[in-house]
Structure 1
Amino acid sequence: MTEATRLPLSHKINRLFAVMHPRSAPERSTESVAEQVSGQLRRAVAASYLEELRDGRFDDEHDGAAVEFELLAAIASCFGVAPRYLTTTGQAAASIDRELELLATMRDANVASIALRGSDVDRAMLTRLIRDTDDVAAGSSDLPR
């Protein structure tokens, strides 16, 4: 696996915090996620432990393999994503990460819906298109009018 496709666990968890919230709302607090995870697991999970995950304490331990699957699944569930985002590595994780980045771009551009045809959509091109559309809407585009 190349360095470009290796996504540390901390990156993936921080991506969830950064992306998975409404445009009009701030990112969720670590404390609120810890409380929800604790409820799902029916045992206490300290916010400080989630902070350690976010800070990269477990990144060098085989991409978070030292962290129990049930905890990672509960974190993923809090953000409405499949547990495999936090438990998989390589190209699969990188692909999910790109989709989350695209979701954030669409959210930030206030895109309500988008229709895609086919599975060969160039996500980089789509991201640029969404950003350009947002720039035009904001009146700050370099595009000719």
Structure 2
Amino acid sequence: MTEATHLPLSHKINRLFAVMHPRSAPERSTESVAEQVSDQLRRAVAPSYLEQLRGGGFDDERDGAAVEFEILAAIASCFGVAPRYLTTTGQAAVSIDRELELLATMRDANVASIALRGSDVDRAMLARVIRGTDDDAEAGSLPH
């Protein structure tokens, strides 16, 4: 696996915190996520454990193998994504990560919906178009 296709577990978890919240709301706190994970699992999961995950404490473990699947699934559930984002590796994980990045770009540009045809959409190009449209709207050249 090349460096370009390896996403550390901490990167994926931090991406969820950064992306999976409404535009008008701040990122969720580690404490609130730990509380929700604890409720789902019916056992305590300390905020400090999530901080270790976010800080890279388990990145050296093979594909996050030292972290219980149930904890990863509960974290994913808190953010409304499939557990496979946190458990998969390689190009599949990179593809999901790019989709989350595009989602954040759309959220930040206040895009309500978008229609795409085909699967050959260059997501980087689409993100640039969305950002450009948002910049034009802020400059007054497009109606809000």
So what's the TM-score if we normalise by structure 2?
A: 0.96
Offset of residue 61 of structure 1: 0.6
**Corresponding residue for residue 4 of structure 2:** 4
Counterparts of 1:122-141 in structure 2, within 5 Å, are: 122-139=122-139
Q: Tell me, in whole angstroms, the C-alpha distance in 2 between the residues paired with 1:59 and 1:137.
A: 40
2:65 counterpart of 1:65: yes
Gaps of 5+ in 2: none
Counterparts of 1:1-145 in structure 2, within 5 Å, are: 1-139=1-139
Gaps of 5+ in 1: none
Offset of residue 63 of structure 1: 2.4
Aligned partner letter, 1:105? T
Q: Tell me, in whole angstroms, the C-alpha distance in 1 between the residues paired with 2:75 and 2:14.
A: 11
Q: Tell me, in whole angstroms, the C-alpha distance in 2 between the residues paired with 1:7 and 1:39.
A: 28
Aligned partner letter, 2:66? A
The C-alpha deviation readout for 1:67-114, integer Å capped at 9, x for no partner, is 010000000000000000000000000000000000000000000110
Offset of residue 40 of structure 1: 0.4
Offset of residue 118 of structure 1: 1.0
- The structure with the largest helix share of the pair is 2
Instruction: For residue 63 of structure 1, give the secondary structure of its aligned residue in structure 2.
Output: helix
**What is the RMSD computed on CA atoms of the aligned residues?**
1.1
Moved over 3 A (4+): none
